[in-house]
């Protein structure tokens, strides 16, 4: 959540506009060449067992801004590994929850009504 009164930089502004993918975990990252760039990002993800299924370059200037879609639906461990590897600007999103999979949609409730 963005706190009122805090100035955002361009990376944070763009990250705030992103929407979750319907079925894939998404990572928005600044691929800083000083840290190792895209080669290191792929190395970290592959070593940790994450398989990028798609990559979209958002900003081609250095440092690059990149969206990486993973074959998993949980981005927590992937973003942690990237942060530990020295990437400072990393934003992760899990897939958008499906309304059809919710307990409410299926007629189930969790309250004692």
Domain range 24-95, CATH architecture: 2-Layer Sandwich (3.30)
Question: Tell me, what's the pLDDT at 85?
Answer: 95
HSE toward the beta carbon, residue 61, CA cutoff 13 A: 1
Predicted TM-score (pTM) of the model is: 0.77
Question: Tell me, what's the pLDDT at 72?
Answer: 84
Question: Tell me, what's the pLDDT at 113?
Answer: 41
Question: Tell me, what's the pLDDT at 108?
Answer: 44
Distance separating alpha carbons of residues 108 and 63, to the nearest angstrom:
48
Question: Tell me, what's the pLDDT at 100?
Answer: 41
Question: Tell me, what's the pLDDT at 34?
Answer: 84
Q: Which residues of the chain have pLDDT under 70?
A: 1-8, 98-113
């Amino acid at each position: 959540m963005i706190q009122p009164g805090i100035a955002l930089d361009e990376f944070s502004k763009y990250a705030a506009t992103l929407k979750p993918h319907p079925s894939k975990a998404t990572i928005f990252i600044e691929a800083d060449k000083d840290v190792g760039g895209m080669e290191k990002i792929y190395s970290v993800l592959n070593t940790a067992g994450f398989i990028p299924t798609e990559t979209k370059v958002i900003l081609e200037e250095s440092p690059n801004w990149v969206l990486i879609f993973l074959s998993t639906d949980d981005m927590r461990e992937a973003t942690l590994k990237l942060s530990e590897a020295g990437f400072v600007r990393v934003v992760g999103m899990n897939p958008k929850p499906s309304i059809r999979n919710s307990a409410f949609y299926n007629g189930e409730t969790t309250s004692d009504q």
